[in-house]
Structure 1
């Protein structure tokens, strides 16, 4: 069963994604989470605390995803690309939380805090890919390909007709011989 704190963060994510930051007032978040405003304030004493909670959630989910990248049976590169692609999905909701955080990335009071959290996500993935690929440039290339797929996921853009992630992985195997892509 989901606790009130997680329901509040889930509701905040939903409001940010579906309606933007302007709609994510404390009252709206409390109503969407089906908790009283006092219940929300018990977990998050202010809007800034709610933002911090969302950023903490992103960092936690990113760390868990990095562990999954490292332990993927078919290799880090294959996991990263498959879960970055439209429909691939990442366990633990990191994609959804990432999208919600992007919605608040241009807020003047939270901008640097958000950029710092997004930098942690980037560093987590790069470090996990580096565990598989000795060459940092190849690890970065693999990350950039995954990031491009991830952008398609976030924007709802499909892959080109007739091409899929397995086609991409097959080609990348030529360039990433150290990886079990």
Structure 2
């Protein structure tokens, strides 16, 4: 047909979004197929049509993480302020698709899901490579730990509302530290 484009099935995306939300909210064990189907508003058969088992859902979440990380890494590499400042400034929860995929995959890594751990290691290495190109290899890990610490402390203190005025002040303080690292 002229003018038609292939679209992702709405039910498939709803199921994947539901699984991601359940991972974030209640963790991997409670994110059962029944719970996912209920959250997505589909029958269990509808869920199984798109994802034949829980491992297929996990694979799709990790694929989503890879795609979003690839986009984020491209933005980081092209950031006019430099990769380090971009990394620090993007290290507060803002409920973006990347935030959600990242935290959902973190919940998988917490239960020793090896593929999730491997994907995280790959993404972290790519971040580190971009940071090293910006501030040098000796300071790249320090910047990564700054961003990681900022992100996880904001999550522990405020959850999705972690981007408080205090956290934003911390961001600017860390950005100033990055500028001093660049010397």
TM-score range, shorter chain: 0.7 to 0.9
How far apart are residue 114 of structure 1 and its match?
Answer: 1.6
Specify the alignment match of 1:66 in structure 2: 73
Distance 2:149 2:180 in 1: 19
Deviations 1:73-114 (A, max 9, x none): 3221111101103x5x375x2221111122222435xx2112
Indicate yes or no: 2:62 matched with 1:55: yes
Specify the alignment match of 2:89 in structure 1: 82
How far apart are residue 36 of structure 1 and its match?
Answer: 2.5
| Greater fraction helix | 2
Indicate yes or no: 2:9 matched with 1:8: no
Specify the alignment match of 1:128 in structure 2: 130
- Larger RCO, structure (CA 8 Å, separation 6 or more): 1
Distance 1:83 1:176 in 2: 19
> Do the aligned residues in 1 keep the contact of 2:84 with 2:178 (CA within 8 Å)?
no
Give the TM-score normalised by the residue count of structure 1: 0.82
Specify the alignment match of 1:17 in structure 2: 24
Distance 2:103 2:70 in 1: 17
Indicate yes or no: 2:114 matched with 1:137: no
Deviations 1:119-156 (A, max 9, x none): 122122112223323x2121222111111112123323
| Matched position secondary structure for 2:72 | helix
How far apart are residue 58 of structure 1 and its match?
Answer: 1.2
How far apart are residue 168 of structure 1 and its match?
Answer: 1.9
Specify the alignment match of 1:151 in structure 2: 152
Specify the alignment match of 2:103 in structure 1: 99
Structure 1 residues 165-176: aligned runs within 5 Å: 165-176=171-182
Unaligned 5+ runs, structure 1:
none
> Do the aligned residues in 1 keep the contact of 2:22 with 2:36 (CA within 8 Å)?
yes
**How many residues are aligned here?**
171
For structure 1, which segment, 156-165 or 27-36, has the greater mean C-alpha deviation from structure 2 after superposition?
156-165
Give the superposed CA RMSD.
2.4
Unaligned 5+ runs, structure 2:
1-6
